[in-house]
Amino acid sequence: MKGGFYTVLMFLALTGPAHCTSFPFMDTSAIERGRKVFMEACRVCHGLKYYRDRAHPQGITALMDEASLREGFGMVPPDLSLITSARGRGTGGALYVYRLLTGYYREDGVLKNRALKEWRGGDGVTAMPPPLPEEGLKEKARDVAVFLHHVADPKEAERRSIGRYVLGYTTLMTILLYLIYRRVWRALKKLHRALSG
């Protein structure tokens, strides 16, 4: 029965609150708002080569060409298709993106970022200017983080909904198999006693 107990615990863990943060990861309107903000603010420098939708069957490329980006920033900014997967497990990557977008500050006239400072170490100096305006910054940053989380794992909602049925089926089968096991062994014990006596 131990296996059934652990299966039930897994089921409760996976069907309880999906994320410890307040980000609306399964909210399609938040994903759409984030996509819109990305297209307006982030796409100038960053692409999403692994993202697919009807309007972009081959992914999204940055609006600036590589030569201009290299000249302006000293490097080509990274593709953001998998940034949330690369910067943390589960929702950690989306939280990193949120903190990156909201973590700009100036120190001695130099632009720095708290998230970069913590991720890379060092002083947090960045060549990337704040891409989002101060007005509505937190909401827009949250929506972009949700969108990039979706880009990195577009099947998450489907996987979670199927996972609940699979865990329910596994729990039911564990209970049924346990009951069959008890019935078979009860019959075998009776047979053994009859043959022994």
Q: What is the pLDDT of residue 6?
A: 55
Average pLDDT, the chain: 86
Q: Which sign does the torsion angle of CA 156, 161, 166, 167 carry?
A: positive
Domains of the chain: which residue ranges?
Answer: 24-154
What is the rounded distance in angstroms from the CA atom of residue 189 to the CA atom of residue 47? Answer: 68
Tell me, what's the pLDDT at 197?
A: 65
pLDDT beyond 90 at 157: no
Higher-confidence position of 110 and 25: 110
Q: Is the CATH number of domain 24-154 3.90.1300.10?
A: no
Which residue blocks in the chain are alpha helix, DSSP H? Answer: 2-15, 28-37, 66-73, 83-86, 92-102, 114-120, 137-152, 156-196
- Residue 21 clears pLDDT 60, i.e. is over it: no
Residue 115 · residue 99 · CB < 8 Å:
yes
Query: How long a stretch of residues is the chain?
Result: 197
Residues β-bridged to residue 118: none
Question: Given a cut of 70, is residue 5 above it in pLDDT?
Answer: no
DSSP 60: B
User: What is the reported pLDDT for 2?
Assistant: 54
Mean pLDDT of 177-186: 90
Long-range contacts from 171-180, C-beta under 8 angstroms, 24+ separation: 171/4, 171/7, 171/8, 171/11, 174/3, 174/4, 174/7, 175/4, 178/1, 178/4
In the chain, % of residues over pLDDT 90: 54
On the question of pLDDT at 58 being above 90, the answer is: yes
CA angle 64, 88, 122 (to 5 degrees): 70
pLDDT computed for residue 3 by the predictor: 55
pLDDT of residue 194 exceeding 90, the answer is no
Q: Which of 9-23, 111-125, 168-182 has the lowest mean pLDDT?
A: 9-23
Q: How far apart, in whole angstroms, are the C-alpha atoms of residue 31 and residue 142? A: 10
pTM score over 0.85: no
Instruction: Output the six-digit token pair for 186.
Output: 């009860």
